[in-house]
Structure 1
Amino acid sequence: MRLATFNGARLGIVDNDELTDITDLAGVADSGKGGPLLALLEAGKTVQDLAAMDFSAAPRIPLTEATISAPLPRPHKVIGAPVNYIDHQIEMSEQKTIGEYGVFLKSPSSVIGPGESIQLPYLDKRTDQEGELGVVIGKLARNVSVDQALDYVFGYMPVLDITVRSGEDRSTRKSFRTFTPTGPYVVTADEVGDPDDLQLKCWVGGELRQQVNTRELIFSIAEVISYASHVMDLEPGDIIASGTPAGVGPLADGDDVILEIEKLGRLAVVVSAGTAINYADRPGPRLAADTVR
């Protein structure tokens, strides 16, 4: 089952070139900024619950007439898994992997959807794309075992973890508005099968930069979930970005970025430097200097 958030705050099931609007029947018409899918998950609905519903009378529209947005526009948390492929560790000359670094958090306000724009913050600092398999948590996970971890997954989707190469910590460098493109759909776990055997490809400006199978992850998807659940509560609708392979590279104004993951579809966004400033002009250093006595 492929679930899309569309036309503002409607929830739909995608079937080939049509979309079935299940918003009203699923009881998520007044979902707020978290979006209808988050409301569905917070209500405790499962894939099995959706499959048992009768949507035969639900409105159907051509997919081409729908405006698709981020499946989860404001999740409670976005959790990142740093250095989770050996080839990326080598590429970035990292001394450690996720095993030593642990996980990090990204701001929920960094989430955008397909067709939107990544806004480069700085004119003179490199900003990179990182294509990743995204995991959507379906129910509260706390101290779960590796063997049970996948039972807590609602579905999967493509996620881009955009990163400024500057001196701040990971959460700062990855939390700018627009830095977590997601979508276009959440594909339910039953349809995906093994998340540790999916092909991932990412293009920037028509150049294939990243290509990997998720079987090459250092921490498997189940291990990432289990580890994170021992650090913090994983709540319904939380997103985990599971790590990026080698091939990250700089983004430039006007670039198109396409992330394709087997069984999950294509996430396409563009890049803009329209609001970018020089790194030295960011407000923090001036504010800090003004307060020094």
Structure 2
Amino acid sequence: MRLVSYREGGEHRLGVVDGDELIDVTAGVGERNQPGAVSPMRALLSREEPVAAFLEAFEGRRVPLDSVQLEPVIPDPGKVIAAPVNYRDHQAEMQEDFHIDALGVFLKAPSSVIASGQTVRLPYTDRRFDQEGELALVIGREARNVSVDEALDYVAGYTMLLDMTMRGGEDRSTRKSFDTFTPIGPFLVTPDEVGALDELQLRTWVNDDLRQDADIRDLIWGVPQLIAYASSVMTLRPGDVITTGTPAGVGQVVDGDRLTVEITGLGTLTAAVSSEDAVVCPTNGARRGPRPPEDVTPVRSR
């Protein structure tokens, strides 16, 4: 099953994708468009009834998929939890001394999320910005201190994410939390449709240049271990996003670039890049921190 968040008439809506159409199921979770209310997607994930059982029993009006304005698949995540250096080839290209088992996780600002098809806005004229394509998951029920064996039971579904990054010595959460720096979507795909995670392949293009080509099985910490660890640090709640880290092939993006991420069975995430209204950076971390290669790491042959 594939779910989308979208806007219609100024309201947040929720749909189930069926071919070239979507079935609007917003009414089934309540018209939650009052100030301070959670999005329909968050409301759906917070229900005690299993998501699939509810959606299969609900009949809503049909809308052409290409006629709606997509929103981030989770427009209002409570948290965006990110995994630093979770592929060994990315560790090598960044010349990092440590990877995730020494670094733990970090947080991105929920306000940084945008929808597939929207624009990443580079804030500064004098800093380097890179693309990082990633597999992400959305939590479906509250989780605290869950085991690795039980971790996947807490996943509502999977999606794609671009972890846009300013290079430098500032804290990761700062360099990755600018508004528009987390394109996510377009779909939330339920685990039954995704299948075995080890069989998924991730590819990222900048314009027509294939920059990243990786197998999800190459994660240092796989999805279950990542969920288990995150839940030992903080309580995970429905609608929280965990993104699993990026493989080798990160590289600089500039004004006018087109970004595309594809993961097996999850669809296509796109974003444009703009430097309109960029200014000079007020911090001086440009010459600090991990040093990415000047040239993009070549995509390995298969």
Partner of 1:44: 48
3-state SS, counterpart of residue 186 of structure 2 = coil
The alpha-carbon deviation at position 150 of structure 1 amounts to 0.2
Partner of 1:24: 27
Query: What's the CA shift string for 1:247-272, capped at 9, x where partnerless?
Result: 00111001110011111100011001
The alpha-carbon deviation at position 49 of structure 1 amounts to 2.8
2: distance between equivalents of 1:215 and 1:108?
27
Alignment of 1:63-102 (within 5 A): 63-102=65-104
Percentage identity across paired residues of the two chains: 52
3-state SS, counterpart of residue 11 of structure 1 = strand
1:80–1:243 Cα contact (<8 Å) kept: yes
1:10–1:29 Cα contact (<8 Å) kept: no
TM-score by length of 2: 0.89
2: distance between equivalents of 1:216 and 1:166?
26
Q: Which amino acid aligns with 1:40?
A: L
2:73–2:187 Cα contact (<8 Å) kept: yes
Change (3 A) 1:28 1:53: farther
1:11–1:37 Cα contact (<8 Å) kept: yes
Partner of 1:11: 14
Alignment of 1:1-293 (within 5 A): 1-7=1-7, 8-30=11-33, 34-55=38-59, 58-279=60-281, 281=282
CA RMSD of aligned residues (A): 1.7
2: distance between equivalents of 1:65 and 1:93?
45
3-state SS, counterpart of residue 231 of structure 2 = helix
2: distance between equivalents of 1:220 and 1:283?
35
3-state SS, counterpart of residue 253 of structure 1 = coil
The alpha-carbon deviation at position 33 of structure 1 amounts to 6.3
The alpha-carbon deviation at position 52 of structure 1 amounts to 4.2
Query: What's the CA shift string for 1:212-234, capped at 9, x where partnerless?
Result: 11000000100100011111111
2:148–2:224 Cα contact (<8 Å) kept: yes
Greater displacement, 6-15 / 41-50: 41-50
Unmatched segments (≥5 aa) in structure 2: 286-302
Unmatched segments (≥5 aa) in structure 1: 285-293
2: distance between equivalents of 1:44 and 1:121?
41
1:76–1:237 Cα contact (<8 Å) kept: yes
TM-score by length of 1: 0.92
Change (3 A) 1:131 1:43: same
2: distance between equivalents of 1:261 and 1:33?
32
Q: Which amino acid aligns with 2:25?
A: I
Q: Which amino acid aligns with 1:5?
A: S
The alpha-carbon deviation at position 282 of structure 1 amounts to 5.7
Change (3 A) 1:272 1:34: farther
2:86–2:220 Cα contact (<8 Å) kept: yes
Q: Which amino acid aligns with 1:14?
A: V
2:44–2:51 Cα contact (<8 Å) kept: no
3-state SS, counterpart of residue 19 of structure 1 = strand
1: distance between equivalents of 2:197 and 2:137?
9
2: distance between equivalents of 1:210 and 1:130?
9
3-state SS, counterpart of residue 29 of structure 2 = coil
Q: Which amino acid aligns with 1:82?
A: P
